[in-house]
C-alpha cells in the first residue's frame, strides 16, 4: 500500500489522528478475537499495521495468527524481533538459567498487551525500550517494567484516551487487561468526547467577535 505501515504513515502525516488509527487496530483485533474459537494475531506491532488509501488501519502478517489451543507450550529458541511487544506471560523463566526458555502460548490477552506497546510505539516514534538489548528488554518486561511516559504526552488532550488504554493494556496479569471489546468501548468513548470537545470549541470560536479570533 502506498501509505506503508503505520509508523511510515505517521512520519509523513504528523497531524494524523492517532486515536482513530488505534480504533481501527482495535477493531481488527476484536474481529479476530470474536471468532469461534478466537484467533490470536501473535505479532502485533507498528510494522504489521498497514494504512489504506482511505486511512483505514489494516492488520497484516497473519502467518503467525493461530487458535490458542494450537500453540506449542514451550520451545527453547529466542525471537528478539518480537520481544519488545511480547506479554510477560510469554517468557518461562527457569531458576537455573534465567530466560533461556520461553513460553509461546499466546492468548487474546497477549495481543492486548502488544496493542499497548504498539500505542507506545506510535506516540514515541520508536520501538518500546529503544536502546535496550532484546534480552534486557525481556527481563524488564518480566519484572513489570514498562516504557516511560513523558509528561508532555498527557498535555495533549487528544492523547489522553489512548494513553489510558495503553496503561490498561500493560497490566502484568492477563486477566487484568481489557478484552478487545472493552478496549474498543474505551476508545469509542474517548473519540466521542474528543469530537464533542472539538465541536464546542468550533461553536465557541464561531460566536467570538472576529477581532478576538486567533489569526490563521
The tens digit of pLDDT for each residue in 142-168 reads 999 999 999 999 999 889 999 999 999
Phi, psi (rounded to 5 degrees) for 51: -115, 125
User: Which residue has better confidence, 90 or 172?
Assistant: 172
Question: What pLDDT, on a 0 to 100 scale, did the predictor assign at position 204?
Answer: 44
Question: What pLDDT, on a 0 to 100 scale, did the predictor assign at position 201?
Answer: 39
Lowest average pLDDT, out of 18-32, 71-85, 113-127, goes to 71-85
User: Which residue has better confidence, 67 or 121?
Assistant: 121
**CB-hemisphere CA count at 13 Å for 33?**
21
Given pLDDT bands bounded at 50, 70 and 90, which one contains residue 31? very high
Task: Write out the chain in H/E/C secondary structure.
Answer: CCCCEHHHHHHHCCCCCHHHHHHHHHHHHHHHHCCCCCCECCCCCHHHEEECCCCCEEECCHHHCECHHHCCCCECCCCCCCHHHCCHHHCCCCCCCCCCCECCCCCHHHHHHHHHHHHHHHHHCCCCCCCCCHHHHHHHHHCCCCCCCCHHHHHCHHHHHHHHHHHHHCCCCHHHCCCHHHHHHHHHHHHHHHHHHHHHHHHHHHCCCHHHCCCC
Q: What is the pLDDT of residues 47-94, one digit of tens each?
A: 999 999 999 999 998 655 555 555 544 443 456 788 999 999 888 554
User: Which residue has better confidence, 12 or 205?
Assistant: 12
Question: What pLDDT, on a 0 to 100 scale, did the predictor assign at position 90?
Answer: 83
Q: Is the per-residue pLDDT at 178 higher than 70?
A: yes
Question: What pLDDT, on a 0 to 100 scale, did the predictor assign at position 55?
Answer: 92
Question: What pLDDT, on a 0 to 100 scale, did the predictor assign at position 210?
Answer: 42
Cβ-contact 7, 46 below 8 angstroms: yes
Please tell me whether the overall predicted TM-score, pTM, comes out greater than 0.85 for this model.
no
What the chain holds in terms of domains, given with CATH numbers, is: 4-65+81-203 (1.10.510.10)
Give the distance from CA 206 to its chain's centroid.
36
User: Which residue has better confidence, 118 or 75?
Assistant: 118
Q: For residues 107 and 84, what is the distance between their CA atoms, to the nearest angstrom?
A: 17
Give the distance from CA 175 to its chain's centroid.
17
Question: What pLDDT, on a 0 to 100 scale, did the predictor assign at position 70?
Answer: 52
Q: Is the per-residue pLDDT at 30 higher than 80?
A: yes
Residues 1-26 have a mean pLDDT of 93
Q: For residues 130 and 60, what is the distance between their CA atoms, to the nearest angstrom?
A: 23
Question: What pLDDT, on a 0 to 100 scale, did the predictor assign at position 81?
Answer: 81
Amino acid at each position: 500500500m502506498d501509505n506503508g505501515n503505520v509508523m511510515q504513515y505517521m512520519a509523513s502525516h504528523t497531524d494524523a489522528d492517532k486515536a482513530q488509527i488505534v480504533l481501527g487496530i482495535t477493531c481488527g483485533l476484536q474481529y479476530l478475537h470474536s471468532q469461534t474459537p478466537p484467533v490470536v494475531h501473535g505479532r502485533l506491532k507498528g510494522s504489521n499495521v498497514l494504512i489504506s488509501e482511505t486511512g483505514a488501519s489494516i492488520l497484516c502478517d497473519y502467518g503467525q495468527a493461530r487458535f490458542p489451543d494450537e500453540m506449542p507450550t514451550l520451545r527453547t529458541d529466542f525471537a528478539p524481533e518480537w520481544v519488545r511487544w511480547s506479554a510477560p506471560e510469554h517468557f518461562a523463566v527457569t531458576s537455573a538459567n534465567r530466560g533461556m526458555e520461553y513460553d509461546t502460548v499466546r492468548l487474546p490477552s497477549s495481543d492486548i498487551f502488544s496493542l499497548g506497546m504498539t500505542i507506545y510505539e506510535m506516540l514515541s516514534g520508536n520501538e518500546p525500550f529503544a536502546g535496550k538489548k532484546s534480552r534486557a528488554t525481556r527481563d524488564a518486561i518480566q519484572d513489570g517494567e514498562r516504557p516511560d511516559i513523558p509528561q508532555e504526552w498527557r498535555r495533549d488532550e487528544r492523547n489522553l484516551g489512548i494513553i489510558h488504554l495503553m496503561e490498561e493494556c500493560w497490566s502484568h496479569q492477563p486477566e487484568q487487561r481489557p478484552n478487545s471489546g472493552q478496549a474498543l468501548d474505551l476508545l469509542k468513548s474517548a473519540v466521542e468526547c474528543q469530537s464533542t470537545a472539538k465541536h464546542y470549541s468550533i461553536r465557541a470560536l464561531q460566536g467570538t467577535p472576529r477581532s478576538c479570533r486567533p489569526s490563521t
